[in-house]
Structure 1
Amino acid sequence: MTAKQDIDSINSWIAQNAQEFASVAPKTKAAAYYFTVLWSIFDLRHLERSASRDKLVAFCNRLPEELDLDPFEEHWDYFRSRLANDNGPTEHFEPLHGNDGVVAAILHDPIVAQHGTSKDRLTAMIFITYRLRCNLVHGNKYEDGLRDQYDNLMHGAKLTMLILEEAWRPKDTSGSHLTWDQE
């Protein structure tokens, strides 16, 4: 079979057996692919191929207290406005964290209450990507399909790239590698 035939065969199966995914736009399929690949790289490099809330907490605890979040601002603004407004959490906040009170607490102060350190904000963004991954891989999307998920997945993919690049670290003057700005 050619690649096109393989893809058409899979799309046909999905249309017959999982109709909520049958009309997923190609750009959303691509976003899901890129997000999944990038998350897998992060999981391999930083979570011992076994992502869990506890391993993610340990990763975030190792972050410096003060971080440069300029590279993350676009994604912070997107998720902040999606998950909370002046009246509190939006309808997207609870489904993101599910029944996980620990994750809800990690997200609440920086996202909803709008206070915390730069480390708290980056930790919230890392947990947002984790919960996107959980919701995508563990079936929550099966209930709703992938409608309106393109932006979530693309922001999640770009966030994951920044996390992998350790974009919070200041660049050296030559721009050739990342350095810690701590002694």
Structure 2
Amino acid sequence: MTSTESTIEKWLKLHAGGYAGLSAKERQAIHDFSLLWSLFEARVLSNNANIPRIRERVAQAASIGAGIDAVPFQESLAYFTARYYTNGEFNHRFEQLRFQNGPNGGRAEAEAVLTGTQTTAPGILTALLAIIYRLRNNLFHGEKWTYYFDEQLDNFTHACLVLMCTIEMFEQKGLLTVPE
């Protein structure tokens, strides 16, 4: 343990299986994602994170000005597509996202975009945010601890990129909410 580690990091290394094995980059990515998600949920989703709200807010952004530019999201779309859709089918990693059943689970949007059947910018952003919402739920509800955050650095890195681009877009469109 280095002297620059926080008390919490020292404790996690001793008491949280797998945490000591994470690289500094992995720990930072988890930290960054936690902060960015909190900001995104507050300022874009008005402290009301769910798939219907994500759909609603993306549609609102798409209706203003020139709509949504998909270019900033292409790198992350390519990453998530390669991660979750291989050889023409969804893999075990996609199933580990644990989408909720039903029309408000976000799975349909994710599947349509990852297979390339949905290619509109609002569709892409909705799908990416649905995937990131599942990453968020799996992190904050403990699922990620079951496999000690294995292979999660790129997930959180791309999730952060999408969240930052989305927050900036909402800011430019004057759509950020003010926490009450």
TM-score normalized by the length of structure 2: 0.81
Shift of 1:59: 1.7
Q: In 2, Cα distance between the equivalents of 1:179 and 1:138? A: 32
Who is 2:91 aligned against?
90
**Distance in 2 of aligned mates of 1:49 and 1:67:** 22
Aligned-pair CA distance for 1:178: 4.1
Q: Deviations over 1:85-137 (max 9, x none)?
A: 232112211111344443211211111x3111222111111112211111111
Alignment of 1:106-125 (within 5 A): 106-111=109-114, 113-116=115-118, 117-125=120-128
Match in the other structure for 2:24: 26
Q: Distance in 2 between matches of 1:159 and 1:88?
A: 24
Displacement, 1:79?
A: 0.6
1:179 CA drift (Å): 6.1
Q: How many residues align?
A: 166
How far is 1:70 from its partner?
Answer: 1.1
Q: What amino acid is the match of 1:126?
A: L
Give the Cα separation in 2 of the matches to 1:92 and 1:143: 14
Structure 1 distance, partners of 2:130, 2:121, is 14
Q: Secondary structure at the match of 2:18?
A: helix
Contact 1:67 1:118 in 2 (8 A): yes
Partners in 1 of 2:172 and 2:56 — Cα distance? 22
- The change in CA–CA distance for 1:97 and 1:118 in structure 2 (over 3 A counts) is farther
Match of 1:79 in 2: 80
Q: What does the per-residue CA deviation read over 1:145-174, in whole Å, with 9 as the maximum and x for residues that have no partner?
A: 11211110011011100001118xxxxxxx
| Mean Cα deviation higher: 60-69 or 144-153 | 60-69
Confirm whether residue 128 of structure 1 aligns to residue 126 of structure 2.
Answer: no
- Matched to 1:129, the amino acid is I
Counterpart CA distance in 1 for 2:19 and 2:173 is 43
- Equivalent residue of 1:62, what SS? helix
Change (3 A) 1:36 1:119: same
Counterpart secondary structure, 1:166: helix
1:166, 1:89 → 2: CA distance?
30
Identity score, percent: 28
CA distance in 1, matches of 2:133, 2:89: 22
Q: Give the distance between the partners of 2:99 and 2:43, measured in 1 at CA.
A: 26
Runs of 4+ in structure 1 deviating by more than 6 angstroms, as ranges, are none
Question: CA–CA distance in 1 between the matches of 2:161 and 2:85?
Answer: 21
**Counterpart residue number, 1:150:** 153
Higher relative contact order (CA 8 A, sep 6+): 2
State the superposition RMSD in angstroms: 2.3
* Paired residue type of 1:156: A
